Amino acid sequence: MIGKRLISNSARAHHDEKRRGVGRCGEKRRGVAALEAAVVTPMLLVLVLGTIEMGTALRASTIMQSAVREAGRLASMDWRYIVADDDTPNAKLVRDLRNFVTASGLPGDQLTVSVIHADGDDEGENFDLTDPDNNLKLIKIELSLPYSQISLWPNRYLGGSNVNARLIMRAGMGAGLAH
């Protein structure tokens, strides 16, 4: 009877160890789980950080596209009543673009702004909003911001890249040029 009791207590103890994950089999399983975590965690971290970074770029692009749309609205307005006598529509347009972008949380002072002819013999040259000859001609308003200025982390993969926004429209559709 004593022998049976010892065997059953020993078997019970072994069964309890297995259930708690103790013993040779449990130690191996914990090692495998640690290895899986060591492999999966960096990949998951890269995916999460990449998603955040692309979200930042998308936000910047959306803000810049909205700013360029507002600049197009200004370019098509009768600017005689919204531009001071000592100012020009082109200067106001650039200033408003920078202010819009800065107010939205991006570095507006880092923007590259161009207001140029979109077609014809003057394509690529500066577009003067005050010139009556430019009435109903295509105007291109472009914004460019270095990606390094909006990136949350130092980033060598997109280094040298820019976030861009552009609008092409007819100038003077009821604006001061038409008068």
Query: Is 74 a residue whose pLDDT tops 90?
Result: no
**DSSP state for residue 33 in the 8-state scheme:** H
pLDDT at position 98 is 95
Give me the mean pLDDT over the 157-175 stretch.
Answer: 82
Return the top range by mean pLDDT from 9-18, 44-53, 151-160.
44-53
Phi, psi of 61 (to 5 degrees): -60, -40
| Better pLDDT: 131 or 31 | 131
**DSSP state for residue 165 in the 8-state scheme:** E
pLDDT at position 10 is 58
In this prediction, residue 156 has a pLDDT band, given cuts at 50, 70 and 90, of low
Give me the mean pLDDT over the 31-51 stretch.
Answer: 89
Tell if the pTM clears 0.75, that is, is over it: no
Structure token digits, residue 148? 């390094």
In this prediction, residue 177 has a pLDDT band, given cuts at 50, 70 and 90, of very low
Give me the mean pLDDT over the 38-61 stretch.
Answer: 91
Burial tier of 104 (Cβ tally within 10 Å: 0-12, 13-18, 19+): middle
Intra-chain end-to-end CA distance of the chain, in Å: 116
pLDDT at position 16 is 60
Q: How far is residue 154's CA from residue 136's CA, in Å, rounded to a whole number?
A: 44
Structure token digits, residue 160? 């040298």
In this prediction, residue 178 has a pLDDT band, given cuts at 50, 70 and 90, of very low
Structure token digits, residue 103? 């107010």
Q: How far is residue 75's CA from residue 148's CA, in Å, rounded to a whole number?
A: 30
What is the chain's mean pLDDT, rounded?
83
